[in-house]
Every structure is written in C-alpha cells, then in structure tokens.
Amino acid sequence: MADRALAVCDPTYLNAELSHILNTLRCNGYPTKFVTSIIRQCKLNKSLPPVPPNNQQCPVLVLPYYSGLSEKIRRLGHSLNFNVRFKSSCNLRSIVRSDKIKVPFDSRPGVVYEIKCGCKASYIGETGNTIFRRFDQHMSNVLTYKNAERRLNGEPTIGPGRPPKIEPRKAMANAIKASVVVEHASQCSLDPRPKIICRESFFHLRRIKEALYIKSNSTINRDNGVAVSEVWNALINKFQCCTLLS
C-alpha cells in the first residue's frame, strides 16, 4: 500500500495518505514500529536512483565440475570479471548408453511388408513380429502343403519330424486356408521374397497402412484389410504415396 501511495499520490496529499495507511494498519492490530519501518523503507527505495543496466556482458567459461577445484576457479572468475559455468562430467549411464547396440532395421518388430513372387505376384500384410519371423511362418505353411502333397503322391516328405497323422488333402486345405501365399505357391514354383514397406509399432495404425497399401497396388490378398474412410482413399489416389514400384 505504501508503494502504491508513493507511486500515484500527489506530493501535496502524500503525507496524509501515508498517515491514513499507518492508522488503518495500527487499528487492525499491526505494530506501529513495524508499519513505520516499512513506510520508511518504501520512501528510501523511492528516493534511490535507478541502477543503469550493464550492457557489457562478461565472458563465460564452461568447465567440467570437480569438487574443490571448481569453487576456486569460480572465485577467481569473479575477481577477473568473467563468469564460470560448470557442466557434469561423464557418468556410467552416459557411457553405457553410448555403447548401446542398435537393432538392424529389418530385425525390428512391427512392420507392413510385401512378399513378392518371382512371377511378380504380390502379397501385402502386417505383423507385430519381425519380417523374418512372419516370412518363416508363411514358408512353414508352404512346406506343410508341399509335404502333404508329396504324401498324397506317395513321395518322401522334406524336413525333420514324424509324418503327420492328418489326412493329406485336409492338411493341404488347412495350409491354403492359413495363408494366401500357400495358395499361390501351390500354383507357382518360383521363389517368394519378403520386403519391408514401412515400420509401425501401433497395431491400429499398422492395420490402416496395410489396407491403404493393399488398395493402392495389385495384390493376391483375399481382402482389402480394415475399412478406411474414402477421404483417405481419395488423398492416397491423388498423391500416389502408397503405390509400390514394380
């Protein structure tokens, strides 16, 4: 209140206003000596000339911190008119993290992928696993189909393990049902090759990207994936951002 009175009151009425403040605070239980000292300090601050800003910046020295030595350097800097700042030195965590092994791009989980046959037939899918793990699952189904076909024709099977007890025709049907890649491999003898289209760790976004790539390319997929708004389809078709090179 005293600062406000000193700032806005006319000098003619200033003393009366300060007396009114003193009496009001004293009636509300504030000690007279305490209020008087505060008013006196406010008057003193008002009369002091403002400190001119120092536009000249002191040089700054940044050093690693070492206990005991850094304090002496700081005191020396003050005496020579330069500022000393300290930064933390290397710790065990920073050393260990800098030595972290980076996982190769094709060994990271969560991808939209393409399996392309030598005949140019293309299958697009998504997986939360690595592309190698998902491709092995497809090829395991292909091997199951071909072994069932060999058993049906009286030929020896390929791979370790006991012969399956399931009837060959049923095993072939189950393998085709499990993967359209198997269905294509039953009609084409050329080798398929996997390729990562993009990485996406979030399942919902991965399904959307899979659907957009399926709709933007000629594939052997049995369906178009999840439903995607036609607004997105129009944008994708306009900019061709999901079209894969042959």
Output the DSSP codes for 129-147: S-HHHHHHHHHHHHHHHHH
Domain interval for residue 85: 60-89
Each residue's pLDDT tens digit, 199-210: 999 999 999 999
On whether both 233 and 172 belong to a single domain, the answer is yes
CA 189 – CA 168 distance, rounded (Å): 20
Q: What 8-state DSSP symbol labels residue 111?
A: E
| E strand or H helix that includes residue 198 | strand 193-199
In this structure, is residue 116 part of a structural domain?
A: yes
* Residue 81 falls inside a structural domain: yes
- Provide the pLDDT for residue 99: 56
Q: Indicate if 74 and 120 belong to the same structural domain.
A: no
Structure tokens at 167: 């009837």
* Domain identity same for 80 and 41: no
Judgement on whether residues 142 and 227 belong to the same structural domain of the protein: yes
> Which residue type is seen at 193?
R
pLDDT in tens, 154-188: 888 887 777 778 899 999 999 999 999 999 999 99
Q: How many domains does the chain have?
A: 3
What are 80-98's pLDDT values in tens digits? 888 888 777 666 666 666 5
Verify that 235 and 115 share a domain, yes or no: yes
**99 domain-assigned:** no
- 115 with 223, same domain: the answer is yes
